[in-house]
Amino acid sequence: MDIRKRVLVTGGAGFIGSHLCSRLLEDGADVLCVDNFFTGTKDNITDILNDPHFELMRHDVTFPLYVEVDEIYNLACPASPRHYQYDPVQTTKTSVHGAINMLGLAKRTRAKILQASTSEVYGDPEVHPQPETYKGSVNPIGLRACYDEGKRCAETLFFDYWRQHGVGIKVARIFNTYGPNMQPNDGRVISNFVVQALKGKNITVYGNGDQTRSFCYVDDLVEGLLRLMASNEKITGPINLGNPVEFSIRELASKIVTKMGTNSKIVYEDLPMDDPMQRCPDTRLAEKYLGWEPRVGLDEGLEKTISYFRTRS
């Protein structure tokens, strides 16, 4: 009889976490989903709640957790500016105290642990596209710093636990990701545009729309996380996971207007503080060490995402 891996996913009822939990169950794991439901929702995990190999625990990672597991995916942290700026002190605590608590658990149980870091560690980059060797251009006292610097500190803690205690770590730097289970009010650009179009409202573009982003469909991202966790123990990361194909925000808005057949007009407002002008991953390390590259193009991914929001409007 095969022994199932026991896998903990913090933030497991969130957007990416819910997809990861489903995929882990498909792959034969016992999954413990931990979430405090600040941005996560049970709606995201309705389909797996009754799976006998799935367990849900309401818990905040800023407090210690005592469970027995083989692998930990640490995804717990609000990831959109609207949510992480709502309570910036708690956002920093979630990144820093959460990392300390999960690393302590990994140390005790000898579990492998993966940190869901972010492209935000690069700030408003002066190097393009961003390789993992780029150290970033971050404003430590700006409105986004609670998230940017919290995630940077979490990476520091991961590598110190690796060097000092021999904990098996993996660090993924996640770039813009989208797909079903995004929250309609999260303030991310794709969900914003789709929800505005569904309501017949104008599409709000900040700045002149020339700023660029790359968009990775969530199934591709989850595949990258799984491959990183399963990789050779010498591969610690950080490794960028994202789609290296760039689009301007204006181009994205036009695509969504066309696909949805809406009469919404594109309107322009002032750019928020510290909003980066360019954000695009150099994914050569992921290709080299994980054999990973995104497979879902923006057009296909947008159609799936729009379909999801239509069924919930």
Q: 158: domain range?
A: 6-178+215-244+276-294
- Contact present, 188 and 299 (Cβ < 8 Å): no
CATH number, domain at 163? 3.40.50.720
Q: How confident is the model at residue 308 (pLDDT cuts 50, 70, 90)?
A: very high
pLDDT at residue 81 in the model: 77
Catalytic pick among 73, 84, 122, 147: 147
Crossing angle (nearest 10°) for helices 145-165 and 88-109: 20
Based on the number of CB atoms within 10 Å of its own CB, is 103 exposed (0-12), middle (13-18) or buried (19 or more)?
buried
Q: How confident is the model at residue 141 (pLDDT cuts 50, 70, 90)?
A: very high
In a domain, 33, yes or no: yes
In a domain, 1, yes or no: no
Distance (Å, whole) CA 154 – CA 229: 17
In a domain, 89, yes or no: yes
pLDDT at residue 1 tops 70: no
Let me know if 147 is a catalytic residue.
yes
Q: 206-233, pLDDT tens digit by residue?
A: 888 888 899 999 999 999 999 999 999 9
Element (H, E) at 234: none
pLDDT at residue 44 tops 60: yes
In a domain, 234, yes or no: yes
Q: 145-162, pLDDT tens digit by residue?
A: 999 999 999 999 999 999
pLDDT at residue 137 tops 60: yes
pLDDT at residue 279 in the model: 86
Domain count, the chain: 1
Across residues 266-281, what is the average pLDDT?
81
- Contact present, 5 and 23 (Cβ < 8 Å): no
Based on the number of CB atoms within 10 Å of its own CB, is 39 exposed (0-12), middle (13-18) or buried (19 or more)?
buried
pLDDT at residue 234 tops 70: yes
In a domain, 37, yes or no: yes
Q: 46-104, pLDDT tens digit by residue?
A: 999 999 999 999 999 999 999 999 999 999 998 877 778 888 999 999 999 999 999 99
- Contact present, 129 and 173 (Cβ < 8 Å): no
SS3 of residue 131 by DSSP? coil
Tell if the pTM clears 0.85, that is, is over it. Answer: yes
- Contact present, 310 and 191 (Cβ < 8 Å): no
Q: What is the dihedral of CA 106, 112, 116, 122, to 10 degrees?
A: 100
Where does the chain have alpha helices with state H? 15-26, 81-84, 88-109, 145-165, 189-198, 218-230, 249-260, 284-290, 298-311
The strand pair at 212-214 and 246-248 is best described as: antiparallel
In a domain, 186, yes or no: no
In a domain, 85, yes or no: yes
Across residues 255-271, what is the average pLDDT?
88
